[in-house]
Amino acid sequence: MNLTVEVHQLFARRDIGRQVKRLAPLAAREITYTVPGRLAEVRIVVTGPKALPGLIVEAETVLLDGEPSRSHASRELRETRQLARTAQARAVPTPEGGAVIVVNAMEHRTTHEVAVTLVHELTHAAQFTRRGVLERIVRDRHDAYGLRRQRPREAREHLRQVEAEEREAYEAEYLADRIA
């Protein structure tokens, strides 16, 4: 498990960056013992709400085989900007089997909130290493960026799996009490 923490274009709330650096190894240790799957290379980027959408779209385009059309890429950026207004963090898989976790520092007030977010997103990072998950996410991103269409059945299966993975991540949030 390789865990790196970076601060990107964060001019206020530097304390959140320090808290993430302190809590991330503790959360990763708890996740490796309790969640099925393994934590491969995880990069955590702490940033503000303005830089969050660009980092998410950049991490997602690394997954794509080809270059997305400009209209699809700008639509995804718009949708990600709307999401970034209230999102605390987002985990995006990498082609090598790792994950990039982008944390919005402005949405966190306490150390416990940071711990809960880290546990939740590291749970997703562990889920990315399970069999078939990365391929399913890549298929969905290809559809979102207009590279390859996804069958409706595959889209429904993806949504069902995302809901199940979210439930699992919410259930694992009790681990934050151990590290905060």
Alpha helix ranges (H) inside the chain = 14-34, 52-63, 70-84, 111-127, 133-144, 152-171, 176-179
Q: What is the model's pLDDT at position 14? A: 82
Q: Which of the four pLDDT bands, split at 50, 70 and 90, describes residue 54?
A: confident
Average pLDDT, the chain: 89
Q: Is the pLDDT of residue 40 over 90?
A: no
Q: What is the model's pLDDT at position 148? A: 85
Q: What is the model's pLDDT at position 159? A: 94
pLDDT per residue over 5-14, tens digit each?
A: 998 887 777 8
Number of domains the chain contains: 1
To 5 degrees, how large is the angle CA 20–CA 24–CA 27?
130
Mean pLDDT of 143-158: 89
Q: What is the model's pLDDT at position 170? A: 95
At 136, which CATH number?
3.40.390
Q: Which of the four pLDDT bands, split at 50, 70 and 90, describes residue 90?
A: very high
Host domain of residue 98: 2-179
Give the integer Cα–Cα distance in Å for 152 and 161. Answer: 14
